[in-house]
Structure 1
């Protein structure tokens, strides 16, 4: 029996923000594949980037479990959330999006100058209560821009203004920060390995600083962007001086650390910088997260690799899932199809992506697109795969008797 041209398909998508989890996106793509190639061997590899779904995915892939608990949400209200204990039993995963993510901020309250990472610190403390030796913090999909100030406050640091009063939550308050008193920080932080899985392209300050790049997506006006940027500049200065300076007998003391421009310091609205000051190692997220999935071997076995994300554009090569999947697939010579909710400038120039396809068949309101995302992704997969299979069946004409035959397709 002759095997079809495409019989093994690796489906390795990210989630679609505020719409589909990575698992839901993978399931929707698989449904589309099976409409076209019913007998295909479909390998589902939902990928997490540190954002929504990271804790659950890593718990499932390692035989671990989720621990449910209440914590402070991004707008200061208590909420139910979770962290993961991995199957190795010595590592906890704190997913910042599960307690401070953008999807947890009501549209009417989307003000990154007011939202807080306090709940992230509470989750880290709860993880320490279990006796783990390592805490991995996944960064992504944040609804905050407080530099991790709230997390440090939850861990025991005091953030004081010039009059000695504690600062209220939110990034807009950081311009008034005068001194950090780290003496009350949880002493267990000295004995645990703190790792941050982040996008190394995200930095705290400067023209490419996190407030300028991501502030508008979180609801900031142009004036608020400048306010937040100024606050994070002051935060980096005071944080370096009072907590992370070499020689401090506390938690940082890492010589040469650059909290303003260091890779990953801008992760999750600057949470990366705040945790780095406590001695956390900021690591490229895919190096940390994909080791549990045997991704390279699974891509190598595929005839076709399908990846997906909410948007494909000029930002995609800067640490996004489709770019990482394409890079790894190309190491094994595998073709890559990328599906996206929107195709922006640069969508056709993502290295390693052989073809990209938008999932919207016609213009529609964002609310409708989010609601129908699973259906739209399945239909788009079917359309794209039918075109790919058609291409494999077209004749290839070669020169005959020195004459080039005209192509049958124009």
Structure 2
């Protein structure tokens, strides 16, 4: 019996590779004779860079840029095997997890560093870029990113506006005269996990703003500022990009990059192609996938939904094991034969993160046991007990939230 394990990262606790290895161990602890192939996945957010570089045997390039808080930092972009394509993951520079919760302010955080990273890759000679959009802490519509690439914004007095989102509402004129020439010669592909527009009830401010520190009142202000920003740019460039699918990805960076000619695509599909997911599934009997938290956004391009859809097309049953779920799980049964939460009792988020390895192992083991029973395969309970030792000893009793 062959299992393919293709999870996304469990944000804040496990990388996709770590999650896949834990699920593999749980399956083999229950069914030692099984064949398990790990295909760590990503959809444009955290883990995209690692997944693509590892699957193509590429390498990393270290670069000094500015982070979301406009402070100097060192980060990297990847060069895929073959040496022609550079991969940039915005979460590496302005990721939500890189900004302490107390400092998450959508009016001050900038995407300038992402533009610096793009400029570095272009100036190094790469003319094909894959940019993973997802997991950002910013909500500036790519305002800072464009400035790092040479785009200039001016207020009514003709004074250049600095690259911080508080200045969006002051924009009177934009100039692309000093845009880095290499941008127009590059083929830029955007790997996104969402298809939201820039503005409106489904836009980046309304949907993703709250997790980035925006209050309900802030959301209206941010949305209005981004609409004004889009008005000025679209009038100058004679186009309409704010309603394009994915324009709201990564706090609106999808909008800015599409203005520059970038092409939007499914991040999960792009990663799957590089990681040869279809090839791995060709002779699989079961597919396991997962993510840290499953919510309504899962069905809009996230890794589990993509994996489940591909598996379904091939007639292979797919199981979803995530850290936790919000309402709306029933809608997922069209894609998965069953869905499971790794969290097995009331606990705080901190406890769930600390115990993520053991919880995921236990949940996967339980599903594997059920599959064995349904397939009339004798369980190897002794092996399960042995394999669980390393995981159980890391569990501490969680505190129940009052």
Q: How high is the TM-score relative to the length of structure 1?
A: 0.88
2:338 to 355, 359, 375: 355
1:29 to 23, 27, 34: 23
**SS at the partner of 1:283?**
strand
Deviation at 1:390, TM superposition (A): 2.7
Is the counterpart of residue 282 in structure 1 residue 264 in structure 2? yes
Q: Which residue of 2 aligns with 1:364?
A: 347
**SS at the partner of 1:315?**
helix
Counterparts of 1:352 and 1:163 in 2: how far apart (Å)? 55
Counterparts of 2:351 and 2:194 in 1: how far apart (Å)? 34
Counterparts of 2:88 and 2:311 in 1: how far apart (Å)? 29
Counterparts of 1:165 and 1:301 in 2: how far apart (Å)? 62
Q: Which residue of 2 aligns with 1:305?
A: 287
Q: For the pair shown, which has the larger CA radius of gyration, 1 or 2?
A: 1
**SS at the partner of 1:190?**
helix
Is the counterpart of residue 335 in structure 1 residue 329 in structure 2? no
Deviation readout 1:41-66 (Å, 9 max, x if unpaired): 11000001111121222111112101
1:145–1:170 Cα contact (<8 Å) kept: no
Counterparts of 1:378 and 1:85 in 2: how far apart (Å)? 33
More moved, 188-197 vs 134-143: 188-197
- Unpaired runs of 5+ in structure 2? 378-402
Deviation at 1:341, TM superposition (A): 1.1
Counterparts of 2:370 and 2:193 in 1: how far apart (Å)? 34
**Structure-2 change in CA distance of 1:345 and 1:387 (3 Å):** same
Deviation at 1:200, TM superposition (A): 5.2
1:125-144 superposed matches below 5 A: 125-144=119-138
1:162 to 150, 156, 163: 156
1:191 to 182, 185, 190: 185
Deviation at 1:147, TM superposition (A): 0.4
Is the counterpart of residue 15 in structure 1 residue 9 in structure 2? yes
Deviation at 1:131, TM superposition (A): 0.8
1:200–1:283 Cα contact (<8 Å) kept: no
Is the counterpart of residue 263 in structure 1 residue 257 in structure 2? no
Is the counterpart of residue 295 in structure 1 residue 277 in structure 2? yes
Counterparts of 1:177 and 1:18 in 2: how far apart (Å)? 36
Q: Which residue of 2 aligns with 1:68?
A: 62
Deviation at 1:162, TM superposition (A): 1.7
Q: How high is the TM-score relative to the length of structure 2?
A: 0.90
Counterparts of 2:348 and 2:251 in 1: how far apart (Å)? 28
Counterparts of 2:315 and 2:176 in 1: how far apart (Å)? 51
Counterparts of 1:353 and 1:163 in 2: how far apart (Å)? 57
Q: How many residues align?
A: 376
Deviation at 1:285, TM superposition (A): 2.1
**SS at the partner of 1:309?**
coil
What's the C-alpha RMSD, in Å, of the aligned pairs? 1.5
Is the counterpart of residue 322 in structure 1 residue 304 in structure 2? yes
**SS at the partner of 1:215?**
helix
Q: Which residue of 2 aligns with 1:225?
A: 219
Counterparts of 1:272 and 1:168 in 2: how far apart (Å)? 20
Is the counterpart of residue 106 in structure 1 residue 100 in structure 2? yes
Q: Which residue of 1 aligns with 2:380?
A: none
Counterparts of 2:213 and 2:33 in 1: how far apart (Å)? 46
Counterparts of 1:309 and 1:200 in 2: how far apart (Å)? 15
Higher percent of residues as helix? 2
2:45–2:193 Cα contact (<8 Å) kept: no
Deviation at 1:378, TM superposition (A): 1.1
- Unpaired runs of 5+ in structure 1? 1-6, 246-256, 395-410
